[in-house]
């Protein structure tokens, strides 16, 4: 029997395309009122047959942007029951000794710090109402490490550890925290990757 989510409000970050859009659609099919967060909503508008309860332009690397969007979702929909931290970028494919400093900061900001930002707000809200579900999309790169994407690997390892810590902090309040670590998935994030790098990720 498929779990129904009727009446629950679910925020999905990075949900205008790819894995995030697939998650958002599935949650909506199960009855959830879905809030889509993305820096660019154009791909969402082109996805026929899906209309979220709320679509917000959000820069997940900015705490002010995340806080504003979260509070707006609560004001308009009454609550947040589910948070799916999905937004992420790969960053450049370069060995560590050539990795640009500004790209390291950007990958860590979007792939790890953003998870903390959204989860910080959601955890307090969910603890107060004694119910909530937080799920973060990490990567097998966070468990194994993939050469030439050290920032991405580090960020995904970071959110795995963060999820374990947060789960222990909120387990007494009816809130669960989980992290999934999929292997390579065919999404727009693969665009621009070399065949050699794709082989490394599959190895």
Euclidean distance between CA atoms 80 and 6, whole angstroms = 13
pLDDT, tens digit, for every residue of 100-155? 999 999 999 999 999 999 999 999 999 999 999 999 999 999 999 999 999 999 99
pLDDT of residue 60: 99
Token code pair at residue 91: 């960053």
φ, ψ of residue 176 to 5 degrees: the values are: -115, 150
Q: Which helix (H) or strand (E) holds 119?
A: helix 114-129
For the annotated catalytic residues, the residue numbers are 152
φ, ψ of residue 55 to 5 degrees: the values are: -125, 125
pLDDT of residue 46: 82
Helices (H), the chain: 18-29, 42-46, 63-77, 101-108, 114-129, 141-144, 150-170, 195-202
Q: Quickly tell me which residue has 């970028």 as its tokens.
A: 89
pLDDT, tens digit, for every residue of 62-74? 999 999 999 999 9
Show me where the domains of the chain are located: 9-202
CATH H-level superfamily of 9-202: NAD(P)-binding Rossmann-like Domain (3.40.50.720)
Number of neighbouring beta carbons within 10 Å of residue 185:
12
Mean pLDDT of all residues in 33-46: 94
Q: pTM for this structure?
A: 0.90
Token code pair at residue 49: 């047959």
Closest CA to 132 of 76, 87, 70, 54: 70
């Amino acid at each position: 029997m498929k779990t129904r989510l009727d009446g629950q409000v679910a925020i999905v970050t990075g949900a205008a395309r790819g894995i995030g859009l697939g998650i958002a659609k599935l949650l909506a099919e199960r009855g959830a009122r879905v809030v889509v967060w993305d820096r660019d909503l154009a791909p969402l508008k082109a996805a026929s047959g899906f209309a979220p309860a709320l679509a917000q332009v959000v820069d997940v690397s900015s705490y002010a942007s995340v806080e504003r969007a979260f509070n707006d979702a609560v004001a308009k929909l009454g609550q947040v029951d589910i948070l799916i931290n999905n937004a992420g970028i790969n960053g450049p494919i370069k060995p560590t000794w050539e990795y640009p400093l500004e790209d390291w900061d950007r990958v860590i900001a979007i792939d790890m710090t953003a998870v903390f930002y959204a989860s910080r707000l959601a955890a307090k809200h969910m603890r107060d109402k004694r119910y909530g579900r937080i799920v973060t999309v990490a990567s097998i790169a966070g468990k194994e490490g993939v050469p030439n994407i050290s920032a991405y690997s580090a960020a995904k390892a970071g959110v795995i550890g963060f999820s374990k810590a947060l789960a222990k902090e909120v387990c007494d309040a009816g809130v669960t925290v989980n992290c999934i670590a999929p292997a390579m998935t065919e999404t727009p994030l693969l665009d621009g990757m070399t065949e050699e790098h794709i082989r490394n990720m599959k190895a």
